[in-house]
C-alpha cells in the first residue's frame, strides 16, 4: 500500500532508526470536514506503517486555536464582525455551547476521531503559547528578523515592509492581533512593545501575548514538538509555498531538519452537478461527525485512503450507496450476522418499506427470506446498519432513491399488455411460485416474454402499481420485502383498473 512505501522512504533517512513524530492539524475556523480528515488519516496510516516496521512512532495533532478569525464567514452572524482579528480561542462560541469559538469546532472533530479509532496526542496552540512553549522560538525569530525577511523574499519573491515582525502582538484593549505593529522587542523581559490601530499602546508578553506569523510558527513548531513527518495540502507544497519557506527557516534559524513532507490533494465535493474543494470558512463541506452518522468508520477510511495522497478525491454524497457497495464487495460486509448478509443498498429499500418503523423492519427482513434468531446482538447490528441507511436517506439521498409504498392503488394509466403482465404475476405469486428476490426478478422477465411486451414495461408497471412512480429500487428486493397477499391484491387491482 502507498503508506508502506512512504514509511520505507522515511526510514531511509539518517534519522530512520530514531523516534518518529508524525504531525497533523488544522485551524478550527469552521466545521472540520472530511477533506481535513484526509490529512489526519494519511498521518495515522503512515504512523501505523512505521510502527509495523519496528520504529517508535507517535501521532500528534496540533489545533491552531490561537490563529485569528480571518473574516466574517458566511455562517456567522453579523455581530461576529467585531471579533475579526482576535484569536479563535478568545472568541465566544457562535452557538453558545462550548467555552470558545475554537472548541465549538474542534471538540466535535476530536470526538469523531475517537469514533474512527485513531489515537493521537492533541496540542492546542493557545495553550502552547500561554505555557511558554514558544518563548525561545520567539526570541530566536526576533533576533534573526532580518534573516527571516531575506528568506521569505528569496523563497516567495515577496517584499516585506521594513517594520515587519515575525511576532504578532495581541492588543490588550481590542483583543485583535491583525491591527498591531511591533515597535520594539525586549528579549530579556520576554515581551514586545506594540501600537494598535485602535489607539492602544502597550506591552505583549511572549507567553500568550501574541503569536508567530504562520510560516515562522510552522517551522518553530517542528522543533518544539520534534516533528519528523507531516502531511499537508498541495498548496503548501507548491514552489515558494509555506513548506519551502518553513524548511529554510527551520534549518537556518532553528537549526532543525524539516520534517519528511507528504503533500496531498483536495477532497472535492460534488453537489447538484457542481464540484468544488471543501472549505470550512465557506461552509461547503461535510463535517466528519455528520459523515459518521451515515457510514461506519471503516467505510469513511476506505473513501479517504484508497487513493494515493496526490490524487484528488471527488465525493458525491448522493452516490454514497455506490461507495458502500464497493466497500462491501471488495473489502468486507458491514455488520455481523444477518446485517452482514443484507447489502447496504437493500437496507435502503427495507427501511423505506418499513416506513422507519424498526419492529416493522424486522418483519420485512423475515419476509425477504432472512432467518432471524432474535438474539440481542443480531438485533443491534440490524439497528445500527438500518440507522446508517435511514440517515443517508434523510441527509443526502436524491429524490430518485426515495420511495413510499402506497396504501391504496395510485391513479396510474397502464397499457393492456402491462395489465395482463400484472395479472399473470399476481397468479404466479398466489400459486407460491416465487419466494426470493432473485425469483421475483426472473419471474418479471418470464411474464414479459409470455405476454409479449418488453421487460422494462413490466418493471415500470410494477413500480407504478406499488409506488406511484415509474422507477424505484431493485424490483426483486422490493417485491420480496412485501407480503404476498398485498402484492396479489395490488396487482389484481391494477390489472382491472
Q: How does the average pLDDT of the chain come out, rounded? A: 94
> Do 426 and 492 contact (CB within 8 A), yes or no?
yes
Q: Which fold has domain 416-496?
A: Arc Repressor Mutant, subunit A (1.10.10)
Largest CA distance in the chain: 96
Q: Which residues contact 319 (CB under 8 A, 6 or more apart)?
A: none
CA–CA gap between residue 124 and residue 224 (Å, rounded): 13
Domain with CATH 2.30.30 in the chain: 167-212
Over residues 45-96, the pLDDT tens digits come to 999 999 999 999 999 999 999 999 999 999 999 999 999 999 999 999 999 9
Enter the DSSP assignment of 176: -
Q: Which residues contact 150 (CB under 8 A, 6 or more apart)?
A: none
Over residues 256-290, the pLDDT tens digits come to 999 999 999 999 988 777 888 888 777 678 899 99
CA–CA gap between residue 478 and residue 223 (Å, rounded): 60
- Where do the DSSP E strands lie in 78-145? 121-124
Q: Within its chain, how far is the Cα of 388 from the centroid?
A: 15
CB-neighbour burial class of residue 249 (10 A; exposed 0-12, middle 13-18, buried 19+): buried
Domain with CATH 3.40.50.620 in the chain: 2-134+214-264
* Cα distances (angstroms) measured from residue 301 to each of 39, 57, 115, 307, 406: 12, 21, 12, 11, 38
* Class of the CATH-defined domain 2-134+214-264: alpha beta
CATH 1.25.10 fits 167-212, yes or no: no
> Do 180 and 170 contact (CB within 8 A), yes or no?
yes
pTM: predicted TM-score of the whole model, two decimal places: 0.91
Residue 16 in this model has a pLDDT that exceeds 60: no
Helix (H, G, I), strand (E, B), or coil: what is residue 212? strand
Residue 395 in this model has a pLDDT that exceeds 70: yes
CA–CA gap between residue 479 and residue 444 (Å, rounded): 11
Amino acid at each position: 500500500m502507498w503508506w508502506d512505501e512512504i514509511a520505507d522512504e522515511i526510514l531511509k533517512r539518517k534519522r530512520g532508526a530514531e523516534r518518529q513524530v508524525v504531525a497533523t492539524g488544522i485551524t478550527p475556523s469552521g466545521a472540520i470536514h472530511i477533506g481535513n480528515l484526509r490529512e489526519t488519516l494519511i498521518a495515522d496510516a503512515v504512523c501505523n506503517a512505521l510502527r509495523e516496521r519496528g520504529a517508535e512512532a507517535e501521532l500528534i495533532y496540533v489545533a491552531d486555536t490561537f490563529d485569528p478569525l480571518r473574516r466574517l464567514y458566511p455562517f456567522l452572524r453579523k455581530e461576529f464582525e467585531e471579533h475579526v482579528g482576535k484569536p479563535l480561542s478568545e472568541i465566544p462560541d457562535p452557538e453558545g455551547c462550548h467555552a470558545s469559538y475554537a472548541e465549538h469546532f474542534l471538540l466535535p472533530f476530536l470526538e469523531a476521531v475517537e469514533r474512527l479509532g485513531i489515537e493521537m496526542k492533541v496540542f492546542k496552540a493557545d495553550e502552547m503559547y500561554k505555557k511558554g512553549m514558544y518563548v525561545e522560538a520567539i526570541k530566536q525569530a526576533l533576533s534573526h528578523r532580518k534573516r527571516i525577511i531575506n528568506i521569505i523574499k528569496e523563497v516567495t519573491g515577496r517584499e516585506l515592509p521594513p517594520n515587519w515582525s515575525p511576532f504578532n502582538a495581541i492588543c490588550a484593549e481590542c483583543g485583535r492581533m491583525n491591527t498591531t505593529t511591533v515597535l520594539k522587542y525586549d528579549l530579556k523581559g520576554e515581551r514586545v512593545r506594540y501600537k494598535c490601530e485602535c489607539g492602544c499602546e502597550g506591552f505583549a508578553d511572549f507567553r500568550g501575548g501574541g503569536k508567530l506569523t504562520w510560516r515562522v510558527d510552522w517551522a518553530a513548531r517542528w522543533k518544539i514538538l520534534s516533528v519528523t513527518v507531516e502531511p499537508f495540502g498541495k498548496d503548501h507544497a507548491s514552489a515558494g509555498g509555506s513548506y519551502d519557506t518553513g524548511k529554510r527557516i527551520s534549518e537556518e534559524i532553528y537549526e532543525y531538519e524539516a520534517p519528511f513532507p507528504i503533500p496531498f490533494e483536495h477532497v472535492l465535493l460534488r453537489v447538484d452537478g457542481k464540484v468544488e474543494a471543501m472549505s470550512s470558512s465557506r461552509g461547503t463541506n461535510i463535517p466528519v461527525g455528520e459523515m459518521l452518522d451515515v457510514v461506519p468508520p471503516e467505510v469513511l477510511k476506505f473513501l479517504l485512503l484508497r487513493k494515493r495522497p496526490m490524487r484528488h478525491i471527488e465525493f458525491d454524497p448522493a452516490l454514497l450507496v455506490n461507495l458502500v457497495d464497493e466497500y462491501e464487495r471488495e473489502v468486507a460486509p458491514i455488520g455481523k450476522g444477518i446485517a452482514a448478509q443484507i447489502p447496504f443498498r437493500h437496507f435502503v429499500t427495507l427501511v423505506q418499506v418499513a416506513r422507519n418503523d424498526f419492529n416493522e423492519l424486522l418483519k420485512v427482513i423475515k419476509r425477504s427470506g432472512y432467518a432471524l434468531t432474535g438474539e440481542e446482538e443480531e438485533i443491534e447490528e440490524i439497528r445500527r446498519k438500518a440507522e446508517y441507511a435511514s440517515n443517508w436517506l434523510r441527509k443526502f439521498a436524491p429524490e430518485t432513491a426515495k420511495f413510499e409504498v402506497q396504501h391504496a392503488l395510485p391513479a396510474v394509466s397502464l397499457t393492456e399488455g402491462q395489465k395482463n403482465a400484472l395479472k399473470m404475476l399476481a397468479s404466479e405469486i398466489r400459486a407460491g411460485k416465487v419466494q426470493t428476490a432473485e425469483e421475483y426478478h426472473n419471474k418479471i422477465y418470464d411474464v414479459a416474454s409470455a405476454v409479449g411486451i418488453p421487460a422494462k414495461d413490466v418493471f415500470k408497471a410494477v413500480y407504478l402499481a406499488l409506488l406511484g412512480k415509474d422507477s424505484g429500487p431493485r424490483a426483486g428486493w422490493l417485491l420480496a420485502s412485501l407480503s404476498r397477499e398485498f402484492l396479489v391484491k395490488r396487482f389484481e387491482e391494477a390489472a382491472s383498473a
